Amino acid sequence: MKHIRFIATALAALFMLGSCGKTDEQPQQNVPEVSADNIYQFKVADGNGDSVSLAQYKGQVLLVVNTATRCGFTPEYTDLERMYETYKDQGFTILDFPCNQFGSQAPGSYDDIHNFCTETYNITFPQFAKIDVNGSNASPLYVWLKEKKPGRIPWNFTKFIIDREGNVVARFDAQTSTIAAVENAIVNQL
């Protein structure tokens, strides 16, 4: 009887260990390649669910970022807004895509997320509808971004810099990059 309890306890522990650290994302399967020459060929959903062409940002330096409101990196909104205010008159824009795939850290509706970001961090840059960045439901924009700068999105606040011609020129993962490095890369494109 002790052996059965030991085995049951061991199996339960293994199950718990196997589920730790997993994200809410779907496995990367059947994700089609996206054929696009630049970011301007994409349309995304705004907070109302309406389709918005990214061609409206043609000629600007863009920072595309997947965000979350309950993440350890959420305070980066302060730095993002500061950069936006500093460089927007030089042709710089941030495109914010909330994503709930990592630890369910972007819960709620678009209005919940947007209100939190504007009230807490006073953001004024464009914020779009919530998306997936990995897996079979990944936004075509993010499929394309990852084709240009390969690798799965590891967590919230992964940043892609787009030059004035609409090309991906840099990628920064929040866990391994500093805001200063991101800002320097933006300045180099301006």
Written as six digits, the tokens of 50 are 């309406």
Q: Give me the active site residues, please.
A: 71
Distance CA 65, CA 156 (A): 8
Distance CA 179, CA 46 (A): 26
Distance CA 127, CA 65 (A): 10
